[in-house]
Amino acid sequence: MADLTLLYQTLAKPLTQVSLASVLLVLILASYFILSFTELSLLRKTYNACNEYGKFAYSCFLKPHTGDGSGGQQAALESFYKTQASIYDATRSRLLQGREDMLALVAAQVRHRVETGKIEHKPIWVDIGGGTGWNIEQMQEQVDVPNFFHAVYLVDLSTSLCDVARERFRRLGWHNVHVVCQDARAFRLSDYETGADGSKAQFSIGKSVYDEQSGETIGADLLTMSYSLSMIPEFHSAIDSVTHLLGADGVVGVVDFYVQNQVEFQSRNYMGGAIDRHCMWISRVFWRTWFELDRVNLESARRDYIEYKFGTILSTNRRCHLVGFRIPYYIFVGCAKDSSTSLQQLAALDASVTESPFISALDLHSESANKPRRDSTQERHSKAFESAVVNLAASLPLPSAYYQNNKTRIYYDETLQKHRQFNDEYIYAFTWEDSRTDSRLLKINSDDVILAITSAGDNILSYALEGPKRIHAVDLNPSQNHLLELKVAAYRSLEYQDFWKLFGEGKHPDFHNLLMKRLSPHLSSQAFDFWLHNGAPAFSKGLYFTGGSRHAIQLVQWLGKLLGIRQDMLRLASAQTLAEQRDIWFKRVRRVLLSRLLAYFVIGSERFLWKALGVPSEQRAMIEEDFKKQAGQEPITAREGGEVSGVKSGQAIWNYGVQTLDPVIEQTLIGEDNHYYLVCLLGHYTPRSHPTYLAPRSHARLSSSTSPLTNLRIHTDELSEVFARMQRASLTIAVLMDSMDWFTPGSEAAPQQVKAVNAALKMGGRVLLRSAGVSPWYVKVFEAEGFSAKRVAVRGLATPCTDRVNMYASTWICTKVGEC
């Protein structure tokens, strides 16, 4: 009371009244000026926007959605949508994110099926809960809707939204789009379409329309649910009903909000990746409660049931960024689960993974499936096969790898710590072993069955160019295999110009679109998800500035700038003669890159060696060991000379660097013929100097219909695990790079791996390996386990430069001469 009296007294004062009147006057004048200088259209726009969002806020947050009291879903929907049907599209563009991406992904899948003849007719699309038809109009960005589709059915229970949709398609003049105002559970395609034989199916209440036994031939080639699943109360029956709508080779796309805890999905092997799937508890509680106000249900069972009823082709978890909030949503692209998959089919698929007697079965799948098998005791199965069998027995969908358009990438369990340790990052953005030397040493022919470490995949692609019978690329780090998969997908879907931008220049301004529209049908779910999360930033700053190896490239560039030799580095990359190159190196660049301080305190540190150069402590120990021996017998380097006092790690690494880099500069012209160092200096390749796989003729060969890449299988596991599951005597070449250096001397693991290699190799089969050591300790292990070992290159005074990389002290070929 006292407060009110005080307020009244204050207002009664003339000074207060004059002040208030002045403020009001200023406000009126300001509004007058602003309005007179503002265009009428802008005023109208602002008014409309305020009106739209006002209506939206009222309908979503204030208006009760009780319907007409009948308890029916249609009445409740109408009470929600009637007041906002006309402003629905304008108010949902920022909230319902991911719709364009989902449409691009399913369109790419359907297009791929049409192009490869899997879908032989004009496709039929059913959009469940299609609302105002915005998605269907938006699909025009991907395909020409009126001509591409035989028919499009928009099924929605809200009469007011259906009216908006009808008006839209009338305006657009799209006669093949039909708006059906009906509950999704009651929609039957057969009510509108005739079967392949031209007749309409007869249905009776209580009988499943798409009874598998009845040989029903009508099915949608594309089924989409965009933010509608979370609005359907009886979601089990809705999903069951929708499942029956899908044709045998059809594609289903779902985009919707969700919340989920990792405990709910952690043991599943068929989800196709789980980057960002887990939502924090606060996000789970908040968004569920928030959306319940509008009868939108985010419980995880909806998404789970979709994944249970369909096979997963692609799956990803995203966040909708809205006024500082992050609302979780997912995109799912799937296909029929195909409950008829038999063990026989799985075994045939598995054959090319293990080089079993079914070897040629994958590509000639149906033909081979009828042939009698050889001695079944000889058969080996991959872990992928074993997981699939477990899923089949439990009526679960198969792991997503089985639903891909091509079976290049083999299923692996991404939840294992041995894969997760890499934190979704590759170490090598480019391969650091000279493919030309490999080619000279191996002389690959069409009978060769090769197993090689993936790394960045560059050398795998070089081997493929030589047309071997089969290549198995193996890497424990899933992201290295994602990188190879991206290159393979790019051959399969992109023109040379885009291919070069991606991997030659390492930059592409439109990566997101390429991924969605072109690359996605050729990628596994895990690789797609990885590139969706990491691709756009990687290809905007430059591919070769990503991954662990970026630390080395960044260090070189940073030092160049800081110490004023950046221009010299660029001159080094464009030197026309070896003499010019040597001059720039020895006078300018070397003193920085081969500075002892740098070697002792940065490059020589265990962390840098491992994270940037992929050099583990065991390999570093070999370098130190050789240095110790050399120091006792000869000067440290030919050029520097001098005595070595004490064997410090930094000195050993520095010396190793000198022995690597000086001969490279002396003997190879970087700008013309040494892309390995060129990419380190520039961060990209040039049309004159690049890996073989980037040449236009390589692109032509590897993207052709007879591409040797059909014979590529990508394994994500330890080498020893893959060797152990290979059929005996099936491989002719194993390229182990420097991986043997990673074993601890004297450990059991090395002989075990060598035994497994021996068992998998044919007699006369060869192992190519490189080592940081001049005479690595494990050569004796090879000799003890049935191999004859030959050092085919060694760094020394006689041959200071073994190849264009010259990173390894020795190169070996071990030939199998006996069983172990």
Give the binding range for ligand SAM (CB under 6 A) out of 149-157, 392-400, 444-452, 503-511.
149-157
Give the binding range for ligand SAM (CB under 6 A) out of 136-144, 222-230, 244-252, 599-607.
222-230
CA distances from 470 to 424, 718, 760 (A): 28, 19, 14
CB of 67 to ligand SAM, least distance (A): 13
Chain positions 164 to 183 lying near ligand SAM, rule: CB under 6 A, are 183
Q: Which of 123, 131, 547, 548 binds ligand SAM (CB under 6 A)?
A: 131
Q: Which of 158, 557, 668, 802 binds ligand SAM (CB under 6 A)?
A: 158
CA atoms within 13 A on the CB side of 164: 23
Residue 552 zone, left/alpha/beta (φ > 0; ψ -120 to 50; rest)? alpha
Q: Which of 91, 142, 226, 534 binds ligand SAM (CB under 6 A)?
A: 226
Under the criterion CB under 6 A, does residue 73 sit at the interface with ligand SAM?
yes
Residue nearer to ligand SAM on the CB measure, 161 or 259? 161
Residue nearer to ligand SAM on the CB measure, 158 or 716? 158
Under the criterion CB under 6 A, does residue 82 sit at the interface with ligand SAM?
no
Q: Are 746 and 713 in contact (CB under 8 A)?
A: no
Q: Report phi then psi at 715, rounded to 5.
A: -105, 140
Under the criterion CB under 6 A, does residue 227 sit at the interface with ligand SAM?
yes
Residue nearer to ligand SAM on the CB measure, 227 or 310? 227
Q: Which of 107, 108, 157, 519 binds ligand SAM (CB under 6 A)?
A: 157
The length of the chain in residues reads 820
Give the DSSP H or E segment for 151.
strand 151-156
The CA distance from 740 to 100, in Å, is 47
Under the criterion CB under 6 A, does residue 449 sit at the interface with ligand SAM?
no
Under the criterion CB under 6 A, does residue 239 sit at the interface with ligand SAM?
no
Residue nearer to ligand SAM on the CB measure, 130 or 253? 130
Under the criterion CB under 6 A, does residue 161 sit at the interface with ligand SAM?
yes
Q: Note the maximum CA span of the chain.
A: 111
Q: Report phi then psi at 95, rounded to 5.
A: -85, -45
Give the binding range for ligand SAM (CB under 6 A) out of 91-99, 483-491, 533-541, 709-717.
91-99
Between helix 14-37 and helix 2-12 the angle, nearest 10°, is 70
CB of 255 to ligand SAM, least distance (A): 8
CB of 99 to ligand SAM, least distance (A): 5
Residue nearer to ligand SAM on the CB measure, 96 or 347? 96
Residue nearer to ligand SAM on the CB measure, 331 or 609? 331
Token digits for 650? 């930094």
Give the binding range for ligand SAM (CB under 6 A) out of 26-34, 151-159, 203-211, 303-311.
151-159
Cα–chain center distance at 305: 24
- Long-range pairs of 697-705 with CB within 8 A, sequence gap ≥ 24: 698/461, 698/465, 699/491, 699/496, 699/499, 700/496, 701/465, 702/461, 702/464, 702/465, 702/491, 703/491, 703/492, 703/494
Q: Edge to edge, what strands does the sheet with 712-716 contain?
A: 712-716, 470-475, 449-453, 731-737, 761-771, 810-816, 787-794
Q: Which of 136, 189, 220, 232 binds ligand SAM (CB under 6 A)?
A: 232
Residue with the two structure tokens 């491992």:
610
CB of 225 to ligand SAM, least distance (A): 7
Token digits for 744? 């601890």
Under the criterion CB under 6 A, does residue 184 sit at the interface with ligand SAM?
yes
- Comparing CA positions, the residue from 783, 773, 772, 770 lying closest to residue 817 is 783
Residue nearer to ligand SAM on the CB measure, 257 or 627? 257
CB of 408 to ligand SAM, least distance (A): 33
Q: Are 766 and 814 in contact (CB under 8 A)?
A: yes
Name the β-bridge partners of 178.
153
CB of 712 to ligand SAM, least distance (A): 38
Question: What is the x/- site pattern for ligand SAM, positions 586-605, by CB under 6 A?
Answer: --------------------
CB of 128 to ligand SAM, least distance (A): 6
Burial of 633 (0-12, 13-18, 19+ CB in 10 A): exposed
Question: What is the x/- site pattern for ligand SAM, positions 96-125, by CB under 6 A?
Answer: x--x--------------------------
Q: Are 714 and 485 in contact (CB under 8 A)?
A: yes
Q: Are 355 and 449 in contact (CB under 8 A)?
A: yes
Give the binding range for ligand SAM (CB under 6 A) out of 128-136, 280-288, 378-386, 544-552.
128-136
Q: Which of 107, 231, 569, 664 binds ligand SAM (CB under 6 A)?
A: 231
Question: By rule CB under 6 A, what count of residues binds ligand SAM?
Answer: 22
Token digits for 804? 């264009």
Q: Which of 59, 97, 135, 732 binds ligand SAM (CB under 6 A)?
A: 135
The CA distance from 619 to 610, in Å, is 10
CB of 271 to ligand SAM, least distance (A): 23
Burial of 243 (0-12, 13-18, 19+ CB in 10 A): middle
How many other CB atoms sit within 10 Å of the CB of residue 635? 13
Q: Report phi then psi at 451, rounded to 5.
A: -120, 125
In the chain, the amino acid numbered 80 is F
Under the criterion CB under 6 A, does residue 129 sit at the interface with ligand SAM?
yes
CB of 554 to ligand SAM, least distance (A): 43
Residue nearer to ligand SAM on the CB measure, 80 or 782? 80
Residue nearer to ligand SAM on the CB measure, 165 or 388? 165
What is the binding site for ligand SAM (CB under 6 A)?
Answer: 73, 77, 92, 96, 99, 129-131, 134-135, 155-158, 161, 183-184, 226-228, 231-232
